Amino acid sequence: MEPVEIRPGIFWVGVNDRTTDLFEGLWPLPYGVSYNAYLVVGKRIALIDSAKSHYAEELLHNIAQVVDPARLDYLVVNHMEPDHSGALPRLRSVAPQAEILATPPALPMLASLYGLTARVRGVGDGEPLDLGGKTLVFHHIPFVHWPETMATYETTARVLFSGDAFGGFRALDGALFADQVDFALYESEALRYFSNIVGMQSQAVLRAVDKLQGLALEVIAPAHGLIWRTDPERIVKLYAKWAKNEGQPGVALVFGSMYGETRKMAEAVAQGVRDSGLAVSVLDASRIHASFLIQESWRFAGLILGSPTYDTGVLPPVEHLLRLLERKRLRNRVVGVFGSFSWRGGARAKLEEKVRELGWELVGSLEFSGAPTPEDLRRGRELGRAVAARVKQIHVGADSHA
C-alpha cells in the first residue's frame, strides 16, 4: 500500500505481510497481518515503530515517498518484538544519526537482538519530545505485550500510537481506517490476536486502558491492523471486555474424536445448547488449529469439552488446548465436559480435574462407553441445556441469539 496521511504531518508508512505462515512461529495468518509504522513530521522527523526485517526495504520505500529516510531524526520503538523492531538495523544504516528512543527495559534488548548501543536513549514515562510543530509524549505500558512496551501520543493531533494494544491480525485490505471497512470481517481476527498474543497479559491491558483513557484521543493507531479515527472508544471497549474475560452469551464446544462416537455426542450436546437459544460454535480440535480454538473459547462465556480416552487421559489436541488456555489465563468460564471410552474411562476424570484446577465453574459432566446409546445422547443434550442455562443465568438480559 502507498503511504497515507492520517492527520496533517502524520503518515502511515507500514507494510502488509501476506507471506508469513505462522506469526511467532505459532499462529496461522490466513489473512495476513500488517506492521504499521508511522512518520511524524515536524521540524524534526520521527519514525514510530518499523517492521519485520524481511520488510525493511518496502518500509524504506514507503518512507521515501514522504521524506528522505536519511533525514530521520528519531526512531521510536514502542515495542521490541521483532515484528516491529526487525528493520531497525537497516534503518540505522540509512539514517546513522537518528537517535533510537525506547523505554529503559528495551535497551538491553536492542543490544542483544541487534547490537544497537550507540545513540540509543531510554525515555521516561510521560516524557515529552518536541519535534517542532509536533510533540510526542511517551507512556510506558509494561507487558502489553512485553515488559518494555510503551505507547506514544502525539499531542497536537491527539493520535495515540498504541503498539500491540488495540491491534489485530488481518492485513489491510486496501483501506487503513476501521470506518472504511466491514469491521465484522476484522473483529474475529482482532479477538484471535488478542487472545493468542496479549490475552495472557490481560491485567496489564486493563492497566494500560485505565492509564491511556486519561488522554484526549482522536485517533488510535496501533502497530497491527486498522486505525481508529471515528469512535476509537469502540476498540478500547472491546479490548477491555476481552481483558476482563467477559465472554459473550454462547458456548464454544471443543471436542476430539477418534472414530466418530465422541463426535456424535458433540452433536447432541450442541443441540442442547441451541434448545436453550444460545449460539454454539462446534470445533473439532483435531482439525482446527488451536489458535482458533483459543479465540472461540475467549469469545463465549460457556465452554464444553469432549474427548475420548486416549492413553488413559485426554486426546492430545484437546489436552493441548487446555494447556494453552491455562497459559493464556482464561478465566470465568461456565463449563461442561464429556468423555468416552472403549474399555476403561479416564478422559472425563482428567477433564474435570483440569477444569477445577483452572477455577472454572463445572456445571455438568458425563461419560459413555462405545457408541452413544439414545439414552447417552439424551444425557448429552441435557448437558448442553444445563451449560446454556447457567450461561444465560449469569448474562441476564444479554442478547443470547446467534
Interface ranges with ligand FEO (CB under 6 A): 79, 81, 83-84, 145, 164, 223-224
Q: Compute the 3-state secondary structure of the chain and give helix, strand, coil in percent, each to the nearest 5.
A: 40, 25, 35
Residue number with CB closer to ligand FEO (134 or 145): 145
Residue number with CB closer to ligand FEO (172 or 387): 172
Task: Tell me the residue nearest to ligand FEO as measured from the CB.
Answer: 81
CB of 237 to ligand FEO, least distance (A): 21
Rounded Cα gap, residues 84 and 78, in angstroms: 8
Measured at the CA of 195, the angle between CA 172 and CA 281, to 5 degrees, comes to: 95
Cell numbers for 117, please give them: 548501543
CB of 93 to ligand FEO, least distance (A): 23
Residue number with CB closer to ligand FEO (162 or 365): 162
CB of 81 to ligand FEO, least distance (A): 3
What 3-state class would DSSP assign to 221? strand
Rounded Cα gap, residues 114 and 117, in angstroms: 9
CB of 222 to ligand FEO, least distance (A): 9
Residue number with CB closer to ligand FEO (36 or 340): 36
Residue number with CB closer to ligand FEO (85 or 309): 85
Residue number with CB closer to ligand FEO (92 or 145): 145
Residue number with CB closer to ligand FEO (168 or 302): 168
CB atoms within 10 A of CB 234: 16
CB of 149 to ligand FEO, least distance (A): 8
Rounded Cα gap, residues 23 and 29, in angstroms: 7
Backbone torsions φ then ψ of 106, nearest 5 degrees: -80, -20
Rounded Cα gap, residues 310 and 316, in angstroms: 8
CB of 177 to ligand FEO, least distance (A): 20
CB of 163 to ligand FEO, least distance (A): 7
Rounded Cα gap, residues 185 and 178, in angstroms: 11
> C-alpha distances in angstroms, 105 versus 74, 198, 287?
18, 19, 40
